[in-house]
Amino acid sequence: MLHDPNRIYIFDTTLRDGEQVPGSQLTTPEKIIIAEQLQSLGVDIIEAGFPISSPGDFQSVVELSKAIREPIICALTRANKGDIDSAVAALKHAARPRIHTGIGSSDMHIQYKFNSTREKILERAVEAVKYAKQFVEDIEFYAEDAGRADNVYLAQMIEAVIAAGATVVNIPDTNGYCLPETYGAKIRFLKENVKNIDQAVISVHCHNDLGLATANSIAGLQNGAGQIECTINGIGERAGNTSLEEVVMILNTHKGLGYHDKININTKKLYPLSGMVSRMMRMPVQANKAIVGRNAFAHSSGIHQDGVLKHRETYEIMNPEDVGIDQSEIILTARSGRHALKHHLERLGYSMERIDLDQTYQRFLTLADEKKEIKDDDLLQLMGEDIESS
């Protein structure tokens, strides 16, 4: 893969790491529907699955490779020939195939998972990359649990796999352990100490066990990474992966970081795709989820509502339309003020000249204490309309 240093590549793993969530497995046709939407969203790489893991996953990678022609289609393997052979076969029809192979890099993994030594694991890593390279040009190597690995050993491993042919080197914080500062410093260390690092793209792959996946990914970018691995709605094992919509909107909102024109994402598709993934994977999106949650653009306290009605940007740092949401919402509750009530009454066609706002507001508060949230029907009733007959 010829990489462009002026691009930040968006690598979506909703269909692989995201799909590892218990109870959220997808059929092949469902995966194709999501992949088509990821393609039109503009992601650069779609990780389609882990072909050796099951016949169904193998078939999904085959079908996705046939159906999706623009993004790179990537298949995951462990560092062994059987896994790699299976991925090569599954990717046979891909226009732009990538193999994602790798092995544990922390002493915890080397000792307890593999009962091995640093030297032997490094050899296996190099062998896997060399083997995969015979079949596919674009090879991404993952150093699992790099977040807890010794940086000097990690640098040796990364240098060796690049020399063996890796085009992308993935530095996963597999257990979501790192702080943004330490993760950023790790990427910087590799950038400064791996001699051949410019021959590969550094990829960040962060998990959210401490709620830091997005912050860590951004820290990685700021320290030299060129690819972000993420999932729609941040779904994934345990507390999930870095959320695609969060990183994309951070880069677009903070233009001063200088990354917004290095990505190619049609942000208006974020909200519809979030809903589609949530429904198909039977994973509700939490109401306060950044960017795509039900309340992400809903204002309910009187002070905020008054501010937004005077000038949207007093309490909104993004335009809801930019992420595919028609408009922000002013929710009427017992915390709302007169300004919000007036706004909704006018929206429903009432002329404020004929209404005693103070009096209506007192009646509204009594009803809102009772009903928690006041909808249009409640307002019409409050104003004395018989909604049944209208």
100 marked as binding residue: no
Using an 8 Å Cβ cutoff, are 66 and 93 in contact?
A: yes
**Interface with ligand KIV, residue 259, by CB under 6 A:** no
For Zn ion, which residue has the nearest CB? 17
Q: How far is the CB of 152 from ligand KIV (least distance, A)?
A: 20
319 is in an annotated binding site: no
Q: Which residues on neighbouring strands pair with residue 188, listed in sequence order?
A: none
Task: Count how many Cα atoms sit within 13 Å of the Cα of residue 312 in the half-sphere of its side chain.
Answer: 10
- Side chain identity at residue 252, one-letter code: N
User: Taking CB under 5 A as the rule, does residue 17 contact Zn ion?
Assistant: yes
CA-CA distance, 122 to 105, in Å (whole number)?
Answer: 8
State which residue, 142 or 271, has the beta carbon closest to ligand KIV: 142
Nearer CB in complex with Zn ion: 21/365 = 21
Asked whether position 172 contacts ligand KIV by CB under 6 A, the answer is: yes
Q: Which does 148 bind (CB under 5 to 8 A by kind): ligand KIV, Zn ion, none?
A: none
177 contacts ligand KIV (rule: CB under 6 A): no
Are residues 203 and 11 in contact, defined by beta-carbon separation less than 8 angstroms?
Answer: yes
Q: Which does 220 bind (CB under 5 to 8 A by kind): Zn ion, ligand KIV, none?
A: none
Among 11, 15, 17, 221, binds ligand KIV (CB under 6 A): 17
47 binds ligand KIV (CB under 6 A): no
Which region, judged by CB under 5 A, interacts with Zn ion, from 15-23, 92-100, 156-164, 262-270?
Answer: 15-23
The yes or no reply on residue 173 touching Zn ion (CB under 5 A) is no
Beta bridge partners of 47: 74
Question: Does 144 contact ligand KIV by CB under 6 A?
Answer: yes
Query: Which residues have C-beta within 8 Å of that of residue 180, sequence separation ≥ 6?
Result: 212, 215, 216, 218, 219
Residues 181, 189: Cα–Cα separation, whole Å = 12
Contact stretch for ligand KIV (CB under 6 A) within 83-91, 168-176, 183-191, 284-292: 168-176
For 66-96, b where at least 16 C-beta lie within 10 A, e where not — what string?
ebbeebbbbbbbbbeeebbbbbbebbeebeb
Between 17 and 19, CB nearer to Zn ion: 17
Site string for ligand KIV, 92-131 (x = CB under 6 A): ----------------------------------------
Full 3-state SS string of 306-359: HHHHHCHHHCCCCCHHHHCCCCCEECECCCCCHHHHHHHHHHCCCCHHHCCHHH
- Asked if 226 interacts with ligand KIV (CB under 6 A), we say no
Signed CA dihedral, 127, 133, 136, 141: sign only: positive
Residue 144 interaction partner, one of ligand KIV, Zn ion, none, beta carbon < 5-8 Å per kind:
ligand KIV
d(CA 381, CA 390) in angstroms, rounded, equals: 11
Which residues 180-219 are close enough to bind ligand KIV by CB under 6 A? 205, 207
3-state secondary structure of 98: strand
Residue closer to Zn ion, measured from CB, 17 or 246: 17
> Residue positions in the annotated binding site for Mn(2+)?
17, 205, 207, 241
The residues that touch Zn ion, with contacts defined as CB under 5 A, are: 17
